[in-house]
Structure 1
Amino acid sequence: MSDHASEQSGTTPAPGMVAVVGAGAMGSGIAQVAAQAGHEVVLVDARDGAAQEAVERLRSTLGRLADKGRIGADEAAAAGGRLGVAEDLRTLPSCRLVIEAVVEDLEVKREIFAALAARQDADTILASNTSSLSITAIAEGIAHPDRIIGLHFFNPPPLMRLVEVVRGARSGTDSVDDACELVRAWGKTPVRCASTPGFIVNRVARPFYGEAQRMVAEGIADAATIDAALRGAGFRMGPLELTDLIGQDVNLAVGTSVWEQTDHDARYEPTAYQQDLVARGALGRKTGHGVYRYDESDQAVDASPDEAAVERLVGGPVRTDPVARTLAMLVNEALAVVVRGEATAEDVDTAMRLGANYPRGPIEWGREIGFDVIKAQLEELAEIYPGGRYRPSKALSQDLPGVGASTGLRPPG
């Protein structure tokens, strides 16, 4: 647990009105979490009837949870009764918190926040569920920007424990603290981070996908073999099968956004391999074909690994070892977040365990492998592949608070 995630408040905060702008999957899921936590919740959506439809779906969902014994029937009825709708932003009541969960378009979000800032109380927390846009940019020119923060929930919100609590350049400490306390009262684990491209999870995870794609394109091993190697290291899914599940187009869009927002840093450059998949319409499970081909039950039909190759590659030279090469990049990226002051080491590890389902946090993993080993591996890769992608973070040579000493162990496998 992170320092922030383990903080205990003396009392449970009294529920207040929560509004959710956007009645899609994410907005509806957030509304469900808030209603089950005891808040009166108001949904609003630009499409006529969408908010009411979402409320009806949520009440059905709560009923099914009760039927399965997941929650009590009284709890389901009470939570459903706390859900309501507003016609538009002008008719929203005064709220303790408003969470925006609409399309990832900066200008659309800025219009929403300007309207909210003009009508809500000055101490109402205004939060965006954006996964890729700058909270600083969203708040620019809007009244009382100290109350504007990011609350990045993970899909599906009722099940995923992590919430990234994002501070923009002008977000107030009180707003961030209050949001963390509220999120914790909802049974979630908040981690704090600065408003930087990809926040924690979507930035640190880029090498998990990118290294696998590069190794397949280079002919080091086939996709199934690389996926098997990473599963053997404890990851629930290999990177290539995971991008098929996410959608190659969705994964590429997130990666491209991070790359563009970091001035085309070579660390995040999208691969030609994935760009070609998207160009061919091979988007993964949803199209029946991505890295793998899928049958009618969504089972991959061409995903048998070469187990002998897995044994040969893991523990060998870093260039051809899917585990060592991927972990070196993940550790490097995680440490870079810490050394830039964007999040603590403990919050980075918590975020990657809970938000990306990693078996261990990358910094914890780096301690076990040895930061000196990671640095040597990256220097070796940088010689083979010049251009800046594999440049070691200066954090590998620094004594950072909360990072700790390395032990010099080799990676698992």
Structure 2
Amino acid sequence: MPPLSKDTIVAVIGAGAMGAGIAQVAASYGHQVKLFDKAEGAASRAIDSIGAGLGKLVSRGKLDHSEAEAILSRLQPIEELSQLADAGLVVEAIIENLDIKRSLFAELEQLCAADTLLTSNTSSLSITSIAAGMQHPERFAGLHFFNPAPIMKLVEVISGLDTDRHVAETLYASASAWGKKPVHARSTPGFIVNRLARPFYAEGLRLLEEGAADTATIDALLRDAGGFRMGPFELMDLIGHDVNYAVTCSVFDAYYGDQRFLPSLTQKALVDGGRLGRKSGRGFYDYRTDAVQPQPQSLSSAGSTLVELPTLIVEGDLGVAEPLLTRLQQTGIHVVRRQGLANQQGRLLLGDAVLALTDGRMASERAVAEATANLVLFDLALDYQQASRLAVAIADQADRRVLQPVTELFALAGIQLSLLDDAPGLAVMRTVAMLANEAADAVMQQVCSAADADIAMQFGVNYPRGPLAWAEAVGTQRIHQVLTHMQQAYGEDRYRPSRQLKRMAVTGGHFHVNAA
């Protein structure tokens, strides 16, 4: 389907941050845009604010002055809803209240032409439910932008039960023409991003609540090893705990209490205490003037005991962790490779220490199963050649003195180690496994395609890699194994592997994701 022509008038209802941003995007493409807000003068003030923002871009040399003037000339403040009758596309961006939205669209149906596309920017309400009272729900869809709309690339095009396929395809083509990265989604709780992102916060919160590590350490691991721009706690502080907690509760309730979306009592306490994050001055971190910020915990390599570079014995194939071996070799250590035992995963032997990539079991449990007392597990990294920090865990029965040469070896390669309490799956691996699991379930339930799941998470929340592409890079069999072991460790349905993921692991199939 072709996009809407530039001659199509776009109406945006709601002149808040989202509405104003959407209006700017449409006007930048070339549409005449009518911006309406029931609050007197709100639309005009929003356009003035857009103008100020465009002026800053001009001053930085990022936008031509004439183009800024052209964009502003296409924005028109509207004082009466009736003035939107000639719009070919209406985007609603008002309060998240079902009854108010239904009432608005009932009025718009009477006001606008029969071929006008009606859309909502809702992030939490069912598109099917909003459309339930409409005479022609087939022309209604979700058009969910992310804040700030002029900058964020992702747009979720959400089809309700009655949305006509051609309507969704026209909106998809139009969002693409506007310079966005659109994805198709079926109207289910959380759509794509708000559903698939839940494990990123949930697994960090669980690690904190179990005493595996503190907030600064967990955040540092997700950044420095996982490649995420922010860790879960600093991101929740930025979003606002009232907002983040409310979304989690909404998704949890909508999925009838599915334990995968269980809200955190720790986060609830912050909300109850008014510690909402950056906007209130305190959250997991203290943003007040002169507050001392906590630092991540690291094992110390001071007072090195290495007299000479050690020999590292490699047994078997390290799989996704092979680049780590290459990096360690670059320190000048001597490496000896030998065949591992049948059905044994690759591991590194350094003196009395045995190092292995986490498979979702606790180090203490795995040490017993493999008859290896001095077992040290290390975490997944997005790029072992670039990671500056890794999580490790040691079996309870191990001689903790084996940590020192391990720490010194990794320090030679420029990698700091953070010791976690013996937590199943450590930090990055368990987070990636749960993100991939949720994405696989969404694909299986036909919420979206595998490619759109990955695009949504990369362009909606800036993940360094799509969760399904990441699962394939690690190996779907390994991800399935991690989840199975975590489910056994916790005895909870929360970690149940998706049937779709299991199929990929058993058959060696692929999700058919595209590099974004």
TM-score normalised to the size of structure 1? 0.91
- Answer with 114-123 or 10-19: which moved more: 10-19
1:26-41 matches, cutoff 5 A? 26-41=18-33
Amino acid across the alignment from 1:303:
P
**Residue of 392, 397, 400 corresponding to 1:312:** 392
Distance across 2 between alignment mates of 1:44 and 1:10: 27
Of 221, 238, 241 in structure 2, the residue corresponding to residue 248 of structure 1 is 241
Q: How does 1:57-68 map to 2 (within 5 A)?
A: 57-68=49-60
Cα deviation 1:106-165 (Å, max 9, x = unaligned): 111111111111111111111100111100000002021111000110110000111000
Cα deviation, 1:291-328, whole Å, max 9, x if unaligned, reads 1112338xx73330012295424899761501111111
Matched, 1:282 2:275: yes
CA contact (8 A) 1:166 1:192 kept: yes
- Alignment of 1:376 with 2:473, yes or no, is no
Cα distance in 1 between the residues matched to 2:143 and 2:2: 23
> Do residues 181 (structure 1) and 173 (structure 2) align?
yes
Change (3 A) 1:66 1:404: farther
Question: What root-mean-square deviation, in Å, do the aligned CA atoms of Structure 1 and Structure 2 show?
Answer: 2.1
Cα 1:47–1:212 change in 2 (3 A) is same
What is the rounded CA distance, in whole Å, between the counterparts of 1:151 and 1:383 in structure 2?
40
Residue equivalent to 2:346: none
Give the paired residue count.
394
Which portions of structure 1, spanning 4 or more consecutive aligned residues, are displaced by more than 3 angstroms?
9-15, 313-318, 403-406
Alignment partner, residue 43 of structure 2: 51
CA deviation vs aligned residue, 1:24-47 (integer Å, no higher than 9, x gap): 000000001111111110011111
Following superposition, the deviation at residue 12 of structure 1 comes to 8.1
SS of alignment partner, residue 389 of structure 1? helix
The amino acid across from 2:81 in the alignment is: L
Give the C-alpha shift of residue 59 in structure 1.
2.2
* TM-fit CA distance, 1:376: 1.8
Q: Is 1:353 matched up with 2:476?
A: no
Query: Offset at 1:181?
Result: 1.1
1:410 equivalent in structure 2: none
Is the 8 Å Cα contact of residues 207 and 423 (structure 2) preserved in structure 1? no
Alignment of 1:5-404 (within 5 A): 13-231=5-223, 232-296=225-289, 301-308=292-299, 310-313=390-393, 319=424, 321-399=426-504, 404=509
Q: Deviations over 1:361-386 (max 9, x none)?
A: 00001111222222222122222323
Query: Partner amino acid for 1:225?
Result: T
Which stretch shows the higher mean deviation, 37-46 or 278-287? 278-287
Match in the other structure for 1:411: none
Uncovered stretches (5+) of structure 1, i.e. residues with no partner: 1-8, 407-413
Q: Which has the larger radius of gyration?
A: 2
More helix by share: 1
Q: Distance in 2 between matches of 1:343 and 1:130?
A: 18
Report SS of the residue matched to 2:118. Answer: strand
Equivalents in 2 of 1:86, 1:42: separation in Å? 6
Question: TM-score, normalising length from structure 2?
Answer: 0.73
Identity %: 47
Q: CA deviation at 1:62?
A: 2.1
Q: Give SS of 1:312's match.
A: strand
Q: Please give the alpha-carbon distance, in whole angstroms, between the structure 1 residues aligned to 2:219 and 2:84.
A: 48
The answer to which structure has the higher strand fraction is: 2
Contact 2:106–2:134 (8 Å) recurs in 1: yes
